Structure 1
C-alpha cells in the first residue's frame, strides 16, 4: 500500500473511531441527550462497535491500525519502521477531525450542558495521593474528548494504561492481522473490537482506558481549542500518561509476541 493510501485510510478510520467512540460518551454524559445516563455498558460497547466499523471501513486501504500503539507494535514485530510516521500523522489528524465532528453533532447538547459552569474539583486528600491544588478533577465535558483517572496516582494510572494496551496489541498481533501481516483482517477486526469491549469492562474503571495515544491527545487538543464556555481545563498535567502508557504497552506486547509466538 502507498503512503497516500495509508495516510488517507488512517485519517478516515481514526476519525470514524473517535466520532462514534466520543459520540457515545457525549450521548451518555451530556444534558438533553436521549441516551443520558445510559451507563458504562453503553460506553464500552459503543467504543467496541466504533473500532469494528472503523476497521472494516478502512482495513483494505491502510490496514486500519488507527492507534500509534498498534503501529509501534507491528513495527517492532516486523523490524520495519518505514511507514510509522505516515501512520501516526494520519491517526492524529483523524483523531482531531473526529473530535471536531462530535462537537458538531452534539453542539446543542454541549450548549445545554455548559449553561452552568463545569464542576472542577479535586478529590479529598488521601494519604499517598497528590494534593487538591495539584490534582483538579476534570468535569464530564473533557471526558467526551479524552480520558482521566478516577484516583490520581501516576504510577498506577500509567501501569493501567500499559496493561490494557499490552492486552490490546497482543490480541492484534496474535489474532487480528491480515494475511500480509501489515494490518487488521476481517475476522481480526471483530476479535479486536471485542477485545476493546473486554478491556473497557475489566480495566476501564481506573483511567477510562485510552489505550491509544492519538485517541486521547488529538481530542484533548481539540477540547483546548474549541470555543466552549465553562468547559473546564484540558488537564495537561495528566496528558502524558495516555500517550506514554499505550506506547510502552504496544512495545511490550511486541516483545512478548517475538519471544513467545514468533
Structure 2
C-alpha cells in the first residue's frame, strides 16, 4: 500500500482533531469554549494517537517532517523517502484544516477576532521573541524525536526504526506531556507540516474577518523543529555507540 497516502491520511486526521479542539475553544458560537489548555493538550494527544494508529503499520506514522528528518539523520530511514513524506505531511495538514473550516463554517462567520481565527490554523508565540521562540521549538521537538527513537525500539543496530500501531499510545502521551509542560510559550508546533500546511490554508481560504497569516513568524515552527530533530538524532547516535 502507498506509504505516502497513509502519511497524508494520518496527518490529515492529526490536524482535523488537533486544530478542531482549538476551533471549538476560541471561535464564537461553539459548545466547547470552556475547554482550556488542558482540553487542548488532551485533544492533541488523542489526535496523535488516532493519526499514528491509522498509518503506523503502512507508513511508519511519522506525520511530521521533523520525525522523518531525525530518523534519516540517524540512519534509521531512507533520505530518498524524506521529500515524499514531507510533501504528504504538508498536504495532509492542509487538508485537515480545510475540514476544520468546513466543520466550523458558521462559527468562523460569527467570529470577528482575527487572532482567534488564525489560532485555529497555525501557531503563534505568547510573547513574541523570535530567538527564544526558536529555542522553545528546538527543545520541544528534541524531546519528541528523541522519545520517538526509544518508543519505536531504537537500538545500536542498523535496522530501520518505524512506529507500529502499538506505539500510538506512548507517542500520544509524549505529545500530551510536551503540550502540558513545554507548550505555553509558542503553542508547541514541534512539527513544520502542522504549522505550514494550515497556514497556507488560512492564506487562501475565503474566511470572513480574516487577518494576515503572519508569515513573518512562519519560519520559527519550521526551522526550530528541523534543528531539534537533528540534535535528537545526534544525541541518540552518541548514546548508542
Q: Scaled by the length of structure 2, what TM-score is found? A: 0.94
From 170, 175, 191, the equivalent of 2:146 is 170
Superposed displacement of residue 106, structure 1: 0.7
Runs (4 or more) in structure 1 with deviation over 6 Å come to none
Separation in structure 2 between the aligned mates of residue 85 and residue 155 of structure 1, nearest angstrom:
27
Superposed displacement of residue 229, structure 1: 2.0
Q: Scaled by the length of structure 1, what TM-score is found? A: 0.87
Give the alignment of 1:90-239 within 5 angstroms: 90-114=88-112, 118=113, 139-177=115-153, 181-239=160-218
Superposed displacement of residue 177, structure 1: 4.9
Superposed displacement of residue 108, structure 1: 1.0
* Structure 1 match to 2:63: 66
Aligned residues: 237
Q: Describe the superposition over 1:143-164 as per-residue Cα deviations: whole angstroms up to 9, x where unpaired.
A: 1101000111111000000000
* Structure 2 match to 1:27: 24
Superposed displacement of residue 78, structure 1: 1.2
Gaps in structure 2 of 5+ consecutive residues = none
Give 3-state SS (helix, strand or coil) of 1:145's partner: coil
CA RMSD in angstroms comes to: 1.5
Query: Which has the greater radius of gyration?
Result: 1
Report the CA distance shift for 1:23/1:178 in structure 2 as closer, same or farther (over 3 A): farther
Gaps in structure 1 of 5+ consecutive residues = 120-138
Report the CA distance shift for 1:246/1:92 in structure 2 as closer, same or farther (over 3 A): same
Superposed displacement of residue 6, structure 1: 1.6
Separation in structure 2 between the aligned mates of residue 177 and residue 67 of structure 1, nearest angstrom:
18
Q: Is the 8 A contact 2:121 2:199 kept in 1?
A: yes
Superposed displacement of residue 172, structure 1: 0.4
Give 3-state SS (helix, strand or coil) of 2:125's partner: coil
Separation in structure 1 between the aligned mates of residue 153 and residue 69 of structure 2, nearest angstrom:
14
Superposed displacement of residue 178, structure 1: 8.4
